Amino acid sequence: MLKNAYIKAFILFMAAIVLLFFACANSNKKYADEYYEQGLVFYKSMEYDRSIDDFTKALEINPKDKENHKVYYMRGRSYLENRQYNQAVNDFTKALEICPETDKATKFSIFESRGNTYHALNENDAAIKDFSDAIELNPKHKNMKYVYNNRGWVWQNKEAYQKALKDYYAALAIDPAFAPSYYGRALSWYKLGNLPRALEDAKEVLRLEPEIKKYDDLVFELRSKMKK
């Protein structure tokens, strides 16, 4: 009887330990989720230092959470907006490492954001690879015009103007009123020496966004060169 009592007491003790463990785990997740949600609020209000702090706290409180790829992604976005590019690359890379294969939407966004970060760092080949991976992963994504446009700018940085043109055309096939791609395409035509095509695109982008001075400047410059 005494032995049975000890066994029963041991079982109850272990059950209490297990319940305590799960209670702590649930509590950690709750606090981590609260910091994550607060970080999103700070991100949307462009308070990036504060969003970074909250995303960091969420990761510290619950480092093993299965949704942490989203936390790393958002902290990376905050670093990117804060122009802390190396930290952003580190977070996007970590997010990709732990992102489930089934979460293609987040994975696309990570590739896109890391591509933009590499672009800011002038790491053109890495940027092209990330943009290309995003396109391959989800060619129908709602952000596809931005990915094509941004990859076009990277090709332009590499003086690969024909490849840049191809991406600008792809972006404009998605959104025929997408001003940044008309501007990029005008510059590519300009670099290739096709001034009439460049002026045609420059006039279109100015028509779409007449308040932007650099578009007006480009039209003026092209017209001046064509008069010579």
Tokens of 67: 């949704």
Domain 15-141 in CATH 1.25.40.10: yes
pLDDT of residue 227: 85
Q: What is residue 15's predicted lDDT score, i.e. its pLDDT?
A: 42
Q: Could you give the 3-state DSSP secondary structure of residue 193? A: coil
Task: Give span(s): CATH 1.25.40.10, the chain.
Answer: 15-141, 162-228
Q: Residues 166-214: pLDDT tens digits?
A: 999 999 999 999 999 999 999 999 999 999 999 999 999 999 999 999 9
pLDDT at 27: 53
Record the pTM. 0.85
Average of per-residue pLDDT across 56-81: 94
Chain centre to alpha carbon of residue 113: 2
Phi, psi of 66 (to 5 degrees): -70, -15
pLDDT in tens, 84-124: 999 999 999 999 999 999 999 999 999 999 999 999 999 99
Look at residue 2 and give its three-state secondary structure.
Answer: helix
Structure tokens at 223: 């017209």
Fold of 162-228: 1.25.40
Q: Is the pLDDT of residue 68 over 90?
A: yes
Q: Please report, for residues 94, 134, 170, 175, the alpha-carbon distance to residue 147 in angstroms, rounded to integers and kept in the order given.
A: 21, 8, 10, 13
Encode pLDDT of 3-57 as tens digits. Answer: 555 555 444 444 434 333 434 445 566 778 899 999 999 999 999 999 999 999 9
Q: What is the chain's length?
A: 228
pLDDT of residue 64: 85
